[in-house]
Amino acid sequence: MHTTVTFHKKLPLFGRNDQGLITLFDASSELLGPGGSAASPMDVVLESLAACSMMDIISILKKMRKELITLEVDLEAQRAEEHPKVFTAIQIKYRLSSPDCKPADLKKAVRLSMETYCSVAAMIRASGCVITWSTELAPKE
């Protein structure tokens, strides 16, 4: 695995992985002047937690032969007051729309992801951050 991040005269930073895919990073205007054209690195870490667990959950539910319509994840994070302002707690809410998935199926998939498979969650927990989660199935129409 390899990536390069480049600064060229102004923000945003451009990250390019070994497949040539680009990620942009920016900072809030109070840190480095005008910005806001891309997510901050901490935003990307939080989004990566969601994306990592979502990939697991989608795979697990498909193996259960469940039909998935949408999966949405909301994350709320608290950070330390002092530098480095690491995440101290993250609450995650998973919302799934599926015609045949039961609440127990979704809970099992989330638990497997968060406790076994999601490497981003494991790294964040290893820093001392407490991660909690809840699940919700959209009402069947």
Q: How confident is the model at residue 11 (pLDDT cuts 50, 70, 90)?
A: confident
* pLDDT at residue 139, as a whole number: 79
Q: Which residues pair with 3 in a beta bridge?
A: 17
pLDDT at 37: 85
Quickly state the pLDDT bin for 17 (edges 50, 70, 90): very high
Q: Is pLDDT of 31 > 90?
A: no
Q: What is the pLDDT of residues 101-130, one digit of tens each?
A: 999 999 999 999 999 999 999 999 999 999
Residue whose token pair is 């942009």? 24
Using CA atoms, how far apart are residues 98 and 84, in angstroms rounded to an integer?
A: 40
Pick from 135, 118, 140: nearest CA to 71: 135
Residue 33 has pLDDT above 70, yes or no: no
Q: What is the DSSP letter of 127?
A: T
Please report, for the chain, the start and end positions of each structural domain, with discontinuous segments joined by +.
Answer: 3-32, 41-137
Task: Write the DSSP symbol of residue 117.
Answer: I
Q: Are 128 and 59 in contact (CB under 8 A)?
A: no
Other beta carbons within 10 Å of 137:
16
Q: Which helix (H) or strand (E) holds 59?
A: helix 41-63
- The gap from C-alpha 60 to its chain's centroid, in whole angstroms, comes to 17
- SS3 assignment, position 5: strand
Output 78 or 30, whichever has higher pLDDT. 78
Res 25 pLDDT > 70: yes
Mean pLDDT of the 24-28 span: 87
For 36-84, what is each residue's pLDDT tens digit? 789 999 999 999 999 999 999 999 999 999 999 999 999 999 999 999 9
Domain 41-137 is in which class? alpha beta
- Radius of gyration (C-alpha) of the chain in whole angstroms: 17
